[in-house]
Amino acid sequence: MKRLVGTLCGIISAALFGLGGILAQPLLSEQVLTPQQIVLLRLLIGGAMLLLYRNLFFKQARKSTKKIWTHWRILTRIMIYGIAGLCTAQIAFFFCD
């Protein structure tokens, strides 16, 4: 059962990643949004979806999710990872022609 759920999560995440690029293309070509704005939207929506999924399906994770917002060291590490890692990779993806 775990293998099936993992496979489905992989398929869904790959489809959403591809769909995100397809939906972003018209916004970039018409200059509605800048690449930085699209990256911000993608990461905020993705992070919100992950928190929602974690809190809905893993009841024991609710307490540790609250810990993220109260411990400054954990929050600092997440912010560094998000800015240095995720934002850099996403912006590079949208800037390449």
The pLDDT tens digits for 36-73 are 888 888 888 888 888 888 888 777 777 777 777 777 88
3-state secondary structure at position 23? helix
Is 39 exposed, middle or buried, given 0-12, 13-18 or 19+ CB atoms closer than 10 A? Answer: buried
Given a cut of 80, is residue 94 above it in pLDDT?
A: no
Place of tokens 């869904």: 12
| Structure-block tokens of residue 68 | 């993220």
Give the per-residue pLDDT at 21: 80
Q: Give me the pLDDT at residue 46, please.
A: 83
Each domain of the chain, given as residue ranges in start order, spans 2-95
Q: For residue 87, what pLDDT is reported?
A: 80
Bigger pLDDT: 27 vs 63 = 27
pLDDT at 97 over 70: no
CA distances from 59 to 7, 35, 49 (A): 22, 36, 16
List the structure tokens of 24. Answer: 């972003």
